[in-house]
Amino acid sequence: MAPLVFVHGIRLSGAAWTEQLERSAHPATAVDLPGHGTRRGERFSMAAAADAIADAIEEPALVVGHSLGGYVAIAAAARYPERVAGLVLADSTYLPGRTLETPFRVAHRLLMRLPDQGERLSRWQFRSVLPPKLAEAVIGGGIATEVIPDVAEAFADFDVLAELAAYPGPTWLVNGSRDHFRRHERRFLDACADGRLVTVPKAGHYLPMARGREFAQLVLDAARSLSSSGKSEAPGVALG
């Protein structure tokens, strides 16, 4: 089976994938994007983030991205299609624009005004929605609130549907049924050269972390399908 490369969401780090790495039965790695985790202090750009993914791939891999990580995975697949055997994009089907950028910038300003730059509030957030062990891993990996403006700027000229359409390989669009980032999922599906849409009932935006066992099975099914006579099949999870 193809190795796995996991790509985290905004402000987080590769530590967000701790449970998935533990559950994986074959080679898997998690990257830190520029401005996050071990790379805090670096400027984030979509090109630099796509390069970070490509640099982590030694042979064609199934790239699994969550939220921001899904958008970056699309950018990497468009730029380096020969390195990406398939994409699993979790909670990453909202078109960038002012309706996405404005809340990010407002949240950044509010958090940065706090004495601890929102660290205490962010820790409470993750502890309230994630399993305890994973929440502590996420917190330990660092919460990079300061990177939000760079991410918002990177989205300003990122044509995600064109980038997605440029990738010829199989793509799984995976959304929690309660996730606000699924708003444009049908337009993303239409842009895929070889796509399928998977909806996990009663799951929210943190599906890969909050529902780790289910998500690990979905990723495993996707990886297995890449190995079956060159054809991809929809993973066996609930469809909405």
Q: Would you state the pLDDT for residue 110?
A: 76
What proportion of the chain, given as a percentage, has pLDDT over 70?
91
Q: With 50 as the cut, is the pLDDT of residue 231 above it?
A: no
What CA dihedral angle connects 1, 130, 120 and 109, to 10 degrees?
70
Q: Which two tokens stand for residue 183?
A: 């708003």
Mean predicted lDDT score pLDDT of the chain: 91
Model confidence at 117, pLDDT cuts 50, 70, 90, reads: confident
Percentage of the residues of the chain whose pLDDT score is greater than 90: 78
Residue 178 C-alpha from the chain's centroid: 17
Supply 21's token pair: 């790495």
Average pLDDT (126-155) is 94
From residue 171, give the alpha-carbon distance in Å to each of 34, 89, 197, 239.
24, 7, 9, 15
Predicted confidence (pLDDT) at residue 18 exceeds the cutoff of 70: yes
* pLDDT value at residue 101: 66
- Tens digit of pLDDT for each residue in 86-111? 999 999 999 987 666 666 667 767 77
- The better pLDDT of the pair 110, 179 is held by 179
How many Å separate Cα 182 from the centre of its chain? Answer: 13
What is the reported pTM?
0.90
